[in-house]
Amino acid sequence: MDSFLIKGSVPLHGEVAISGAKNAVLPIMAAALLTAEPCVIRRVPNLSDVKFMGQILTWLGAQVRFEGDSVRIQARKIKGAGDYDLIRKMRGSICVMGPLLGRLKKAAVSLPGGCVIGARPINLHLKGFAALGAKVVIENGYVHASAKRLVGAAMFLGGRAGPTVLGTANVMMAATLAEGVTVIESAACEPEVVDLASFLNAMGAQISGAGSPTVTITGVKELHGAEHEVIPDRIEAATYAIAAAATNGEVTLRGARADHLRAVLDKLKDAGVGIERSSAGITVRRNGRLKPVDITTLPYSGFPTDVQAQMMALMTLTPGISIITERIFESRFMHVSELTRLGADIEIEGPSAIVKGGKPLSGAPVMASDLRASAALVIAGLAARGTTQVNRVYHIDRGYENIDGKLRQLGARIERIEES
């Protein structure tokens, strides 16, 4: 398994191109299953999760061809069942279920199972499918959904932690081919859901209200092929913004959309970080001393849970006390123990982490555990004195395109050690 060797305390300077959004492209690739015609998706990031989704679609019978930063998908004929092992390995693949149900009126995928950040239930996805008239059965580790007809319905998809992003995506995709009108209340408002809705509408769907808590889908007979350019990855952009602040540097995030990052940019400003918007993107620079901030992760447009770990890394460098509260997932503090190995002073109190920042970090070997926790460790390593080795970086390759190459371009001393 590869690892990164990082020699810290080097301010990052320069410009980084922000790639297409992982969490938009995964459901959008799945949406291509809804038509027998070809779809072309552009600004596709070169990530292991994206390649994996391509394998799943191929397994389902679609023709998938990656060409540069585009992918051409044509699902002339497809199977209704996903391969148990393939689907179990990547939670995001649950979003093939909605398109399979919409197109074939049947779908069977393996239960995605939990991961290090939480149980990751899919009860709300299944509640939405059932509301459309599907019979849902869980047996032998698979979840089966089938329906003679899908009929539009009104439904409430809010759960214990608020809306569900992929649940909204899944039900929206199935509803595009249902008979009649579907209204999803407490729909997720994330930009990735909006991007999916615009792709579906380009395919001939009739969706309104995406980005608001109430999404209306008027079913149509069939969908046609379409082309689409994926939105830039707001989580990747936030990660580089925080890395710039953590290393006392100045970085321009080329192609980043400030309107997708309001909560993050607001918190960075409160922390004393300089933010400047321009036509090229967003320029982030450290403006002297950092100030502690309190963070609570919330559904969009609140502070994103996917940036919680990275912000915690920044707060370990900030003199004072910051309180970081995770409200979306039940165990998203895996990075705390590893940050502590670098010298951070963090105490967990229930859903909150109390960060007593300001002491310089010192490099050490640390273990990546999940995608965003790993990014936090890279940020901490970039700021720490001495050398940090981040192990199991396959976690990072899932969601960050060429992160070591992009960081080197910004002056970071980071190298990938490929373990045979």
- Part in contact with ligand EPZ (CB under 6 A); list of ranges 4-12, 63-71, 121-129, 265-273: 121-129
Q: Which of residues 203-262 bind ligand EPZ (CB under 6 A)?
A: none
Known catalytic membership, residue 115 = yes
Contact 174, 99 (CB under 8 A): yes
Q: Which is nearer to ligand EPZ, 56 or 290 (CB)?
A: 56
Measured distance CA(118)–CA(112) in Å, rounded: 12
Which of 368, 347, 366 is CA-nearest to residue 356?
347
Residues 6+ apart with CB under 8 A from 371: 395, 396, 398, 399, 400
Q: Which of residues 382-411 bind ligand EPZ (CB under 6 A)?
A: 399
Count of positions (residues) in the chain: 420
Report, in Å, the least distance between residue 351 CB and ligand EPZ.
12
Among 63, 123, 208, 278, binds ligand EPZ (CB under 6 A): 123
- Part in contact with ligand EPZ (CB under 6 A); list of ranges 97-105, 156-164, 269-277, 314-322: 156-164
For 188-213, letters b (16+ CB in 10 Å) and e give: bbbbbbbbbbbbbbebbbebeebbeb
Task: Write out the two tokens for 360.
Answer: 């310089």
Is position 343 an interface residue for ligand EPZ (rule: CB under 6 A)? no
Measured distance CA(149)–CA(180) in Å, rounded: 11
Within 281-370, residue ranges assigned H as helices are: 308-316, 334-341
Q: Which is nearer to ligand EPZ, 92 or 219 (CB)?
A: 92
Among 124, 134, 196, 396, binds ligand EPZ (CB under 6 A): 124
Helix 308-316 to helix 234-246 angle (10° resolution) is: 0
Q: Which is nearer to ligand EPZ, 226 or 238 (CB)?
A: 238
Give the binding-site size for ligand EPZ (rule: CB under 6 A): 25
Report, in Å, the least distance between residue 222 CB and ligand EPZ.
26
Among 164, 308, 316, 322, binds ligand EPZ (CB under 6 A): 164
Choosing from 39, 95, 115, 189, the catalytic residue is 115
Contact 216, 181 (CB under 8 A): yes
Q: Which is nearer to ligand EPZ, 10 or 109 (CB)?
A: 109
Contacts with ligand EPZ by CB under 6 A lie at 23, 26, 92, 118, 120-125, 159-161, 164-167, 188, 305-306, 328-329, 371-372, 399
- For the annotated catalytic residues, the residue numbers are 115
